[in-house]
């Protein structure tokens, strides 16, 4: 798939993920699998994870996403992002690993973690970083 087409699909997904679950789920094949390795959860079939996303306990107005980087390699994409579930007051970091079959996702793995303050002893070797959303 063309990288520009893929990025447009991902932009559409993140535009609708909290607002219109059905539109967001257009990114997936019917037989797609969604996994959260950290919790051991596995959802088989787009219908299954579309329904749990409808029940997600965070209001649309509270969701924020900041895409940090998208790396595309043939039928595999990595999305590095920050997500906030409280209107941007706090941020978590995440990585989505997306396997494509044709132009749709057939398997997704999501990793989520909290950030941490860098130890001061590493300061002499650190490079300046681009602006990130506030933590």
Indicate the pLDDT class of residue 131, thresholds 50, 70 and 90.
low
The CA distance from 94 to 79, in Å, is 8
* C-alpha distance from residue 51 to each of 42, 46, 101, 122, 125 (Å): 14, 9, 22, 45, 47
Task: Give the pLDDT confidence score for residue 19 in this predicted structure.
Answer: 64
List the structure tokens of 111: 């990793």
17-43: average pLDDT: 87
* C-alpha distance from residue 46 to each of 34, 102, 125 (Å): 8, 16, 45
Domains and CATH numbers, the chain: 3-115 (3.10.450.50)
pTM: predicted TM-score of the whole model, two decimal places: 0.83
Q: What is the pLDDT of residues 53-78, one digit of tens each?
A: 888 888 878 888 888 888 988 889 99
Contact call for residues 48 and 72 (beta carbons, < 8 A) = no
């Amino acid at each position: 798939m063309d990288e520009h087409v893929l990025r447009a699909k991902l932009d559409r997904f993140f535009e609708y993920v909290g607002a219109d679950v059905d539109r967001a789920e257009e990114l997936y094949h019917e037989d797609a699998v969604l996994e959260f390795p950290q919790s051991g959860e596995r959802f088989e079939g787009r219908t299954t994870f579309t329904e749990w996303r409808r029940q997600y306990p965070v209001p649309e107005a509270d969701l924020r996403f900041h895409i940090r980087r998208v790396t595309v390699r043939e039928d595999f994409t990595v999305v590095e992002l920050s997500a906030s579930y409280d209107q941007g007051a706090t941020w978590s970091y995440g990585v989505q690993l997306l396997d494509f079959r044709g132009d749709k996702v057939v398997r997704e793995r999501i990793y989520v973690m909290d950030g941490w303050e860098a130890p001061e002893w590493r300061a002499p070797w650190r490079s300046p970083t681009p602006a990130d959303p506030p933590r």
